[in-house]
Structure 1
Amino acid sequence: MKVINIKRIVTASILMMVLMALPVHADEMTTVNLELPEYFNFDDNYYTVYGGPDVTATLIGDNEFSRGDEVTLNVNLMNKGVVTGFESDDEADDNSDLEQKIQQTEMGYEAQRTTAIGIVAMLVSEDPNVRVKSGPQEAGTLASGEQTESPVAFNIEVSKNAPAGEYPLSLQLYYGYQENVQIDGDNETDLGITNMEVGLWYAVGQQMQDLTVVVEEEADFEVVNVTGELEAGSEGLLRVVYKNTGEEAVKDATVRISADDPFSTTDDQSFLGSIAPGETAEAVFRLKVDETAVSKVYAINSEIKYEDTDGHSQISDTVKIQTETLPAGSSGSGMGQYIGILVVVVILAVAFVGVRKFMANKEGNNGKEE
């Protein structure tokens, strides 16, 4: 009867220790050197085999995003590992039939060296503008030529202040793989090797691959100046200067405000036109302030609708306008009206006095003539 006793020398604790302690520095597989236990000897090891797993990653879908996006990156893994060579550690001519059979059996096991076992993937970003929110992800076991049935998913967040450009991400891969094989047996029969023992020694491989995400060029806006005198109980003009602080020019830009209490308006839009990066444009709004408005600084929300360089219609993030309301009459408009009325009265009075003098002189002259 054929009996096979397989000894597997790999532990989860060793793998976990490696995952937490060792960095990855190259896209080619590197091996964590672990000492063999004393009872695992290779006195009868017939082959030294070279090669191993080669796990490559491909980003699925678009890698271009906008500022402030929170997205999921889907990564496909494929094992392209091959046995690159082997050498015999024993002379075949000197081997018995049993040793030759063991040698053939060992070669069959050595072919499993290219399988990546229990793959763990970690995505790392060194730039604070792109933050990886997902921890390590398990990707299962891949034999040579196999790929993941479903992609490995990582959630990332792009900062609202991220400059446009490329951002590298490091995908770090860890897995176990078969490092070496030891086979022994009592005898070779027609049924095979009796009491065959197979010792499998596993090591930990590690790889790194760079992935790239792109933050797209786009327009961005901020308010750089606000002027206007808005009094409680009256209507006035609010002038707002917007600056394009982004990397992309816009055209046909129109700004719209949301006038909440204490403001009201029937004129909530203003045309800005084309604005290149770094340029400004002024918007003018006519606002009425409620007579019960408290004198303080208010924030008015505004949004800019524009056409980008690709001809697509876009709407900006909310841009706040900070403006202050004044108490009724504090702008001097009431005093101006009073002064205007006073001036008219003075003019009329002077004119009346002049007419009276003119009439008096005329009557006096008429009397002398008589």
Structure 2
Amino acid sequence: MLLLALLAAPGAAQGVKYLYGSPDLSATISGTNQFAPGAETQLGVIISNSGLNTHKMVGSTIVTPDDQPNTAKLVTVTLKSSDAPFTVKTDPQFVRDIAGGGAANAVFNVKVADSAEPGTYTLPLEVTYTYLQDAEDYGDVLRYNYQKKTLTLPLTVQVTPDLQVEVLDIRSESLNVGTEGYVYMTLKNVGHDTASKAIAMVTRSGASPLIPTDGNAYIGTFEPGETVDVKFKVSVANTAEPQSYPLDVAVTYEDYEGKTVTSRPTTIGLPVGGKIAFEVVSPPSTLYLGQKSILEVVYKNSGAATVYNAQARISAVDPFTSNDDTAFLGDLAPGETATARFEVNVDGAGTAKEYGIDSEIRYRDNLDNSKISDTMKVRVALEQRQGTLFTNPVFLIAVLAVIIGAGYYIFVYRKKQR
């Protein structure tokens, strides 16, 4: 029996119990720990457990506990900003149990303050967990004694110097719907980085009708606190309305590390004036079938900007013909009028009624761009002139012959008298 017991002992089930051990947690940042002022990003954190079990007891009568004392259970992490210029936008997170030698990940959304000073800061990571302090063996029963613990782990982050653009003053010139104008700005570097080879630029903001046509201005070295004046050329879509629209302003430069970067865009609002427009303000003209006449048309600048070297033109179609279909109007300020005169032939076979002759105005805007107005209608009423002796061609020829004959008679008579 003793021999059998000795032979059977090595094959008996062995229980394991760890007498001493506890979790040992640390935290590191996953990825970069450098952030620019105003940045909104995700901060990845790795929580590692390097805790060890230092004493182990093995025996056939020992019941193995479900948990080991170096396992951190029910781990919850909370990122705080303390005095750092960071705003944490993520609530406390439950990660998972972290066994000894294991790790878990957490991600937090953070926002760096726009006014953050460059430097090194510490973000406290508060970790709360539970661990097995000991297990009491009562034969067939194990009693677990757990302890809850909270500790704060430091995370080191850096705020890098950058360039931030503030628009101190803005002024536009000749910025009207459907035209092109200038935008003048005074920019200030309110950041902490000295920009090299700086280039100010304006870009379209979303679906804004403001579209830069010359959107870059070279600055050069742009020191913190320095101001510069820049000028851009911007066009306005024909579909725009007279109101303010957004435009984005940024600066591309070489930073303190020699890397080419672009500052965060600043959105400004630019007022846009009304569209340049014209209208015919003269009443309908009356012309007569079968005659050549002078058609007088009064045009008015009903838009919001002055036009230069304006020329009116009509498109004569049947029953009208014209060899003089263009008239010079000159410069017209908003609200001003000018009269154009066109020589028009009217076909005698036409119909006596009111017609609409197409007309348009070619002009130059304040930036000397050539533009053409929308088409307008010139109203003309055609009538049949009633015949009279003074309009009858036969009568006019007879009168002319009498005048010529009388003149000849007088000339001969006076010659004889001499």
Same fold (TM over 0.5): yes
Look up the SS of the partner of 2:97 in the other structure: strand
Judge conservation of contact 2:77–2:126 (CA < 8 Å) in 1.
yes
Whole-angstrom distance in 2 between the partners of 1:292 and 1:51: 74
Cα–Cα, structure 1 residues 139 and 77, in superposed 2: closer, same or farther, change >3 Å?
A: farther
Gaps of 5+ in 1: 7-48, 85-100, 185-194, 340-370
Aligned to 1:156: 109
Higher helix proportion (structure 1 or 2): 1
Aligned to 2:399: none
Cα–Cα, structure 1 residues 286 and 136, in superposed 2: closer, same or farther, change >3 Å?
A: closer
Aligned to 1:78: 49
Aligned to 2:28: 58
1:225 aligns to 2:169 (yes or no): yes
1:314 aligns to 2:261 (yes or no): yes
Higher strand proportion (structure 1 or 2): 2
Letter in 2 for 1:228: S
Aligned to 1:283: 230
Which shows bigger deviation, 207-216 or 163-172? Answer: 163-172
Letter in 2 for 1:74: V
Query: Which residue, 241, 265, 271 being the options, matches 1:324?
Result: 271
Deviation at 1:159, TM superposition (A): 3.9
Whole-angstrom distance in 2 between the partners of 1:308 and 1:264: 28
Deviation at 1:121, TM superposition (A): 2.9
Query: Which residue, 182, 197, 212 being the options, matches 2:156?
Result: 212
Which shows bigger deviation, 278-287 or 226-235? Answer: 226-235
Cα–Cα, structure 1 residues 64 and 218, in superposed 2: closer, same or farther, change >3 Å?
A: same
Look up the SS of the partner of 2:95 in the other structure: strand
Letter in 2 for 1:59: I
Judge conservation of contact 1:121–1:174 (CA < 8 Å) in 2.
yes
5 Å-filtered alignment, 1:22-41, equals none
Gaps of 5+ in 2: 277-302, 309-329, 334-418
Letter in 1 for 2:232: F
Whole-angstrom distance in 2 between the partners of 1:196 and 1:286: 87
Judge conservation of contact 2:20–2:69 (CA < 8 Å) in 1.
no
Judge conservation of contact 1:83–1:113 (CA < 8 Å) in 2.
no
**Percent sequence identity over matched residues?**
21
Aligned residues: CA RMSD: 4.2
Deviation at 1:50, TM superposition (A): 7.8
Judge conservation of contact 1:223–1:320 (CA < 8 Å) in 2.
no
Whole-angstrom distance in 2 between the partners of 1:291 and 1:179: 77
Look up the SS of the partner of 1:140 in the other structure: coil
Cα–Cα, structure 1 residues 203 and 324, in superposed 2: closer, same or farther, change >3 Å?
A: closer
Question: RCO (CA 8 Å, sep 6+): is it higher in 1 or 2?
Answer: 1
Cα–Cα, structure 1 residues 119 and 332, in superposed 2: closer, same or farther, change >3 Å?
A: same
- Give TM-score, length-normalised by structure 1: 0.57
Cα–Cα, structure 1 residues 81 and 209, in superposed 2: closer, same or farther, change >3 Å?
A: farther
5 Å-filtered alignment, 1:1-370, equals 52-66=22-36, 67-81=38-52, 114-126=69-81, 129-133=86-90, 135-143=92-100, 146-148=101-103, 151-159=104-112, 161=114, 163-164=116-117, 165-183=119-137, 198-232=142-176, 235-258=180-203, 263=210, 266-289=213-236, 294-327=241-274
Whole-angstrom distance in 2 between the partners of 1:152 and 1:174: 15
Judge conservation of contact 1:181–1:198 (CA < 8 Å) in 2.
yes
Judge conservation of contact 1:175–1:206 (CA < 8 Å) in 2.
yes
Which shows bigger deviation, 229-238 or 268-277? Answer: 229-238
- Give TM-score, length-normalised by structure 2: 0.51
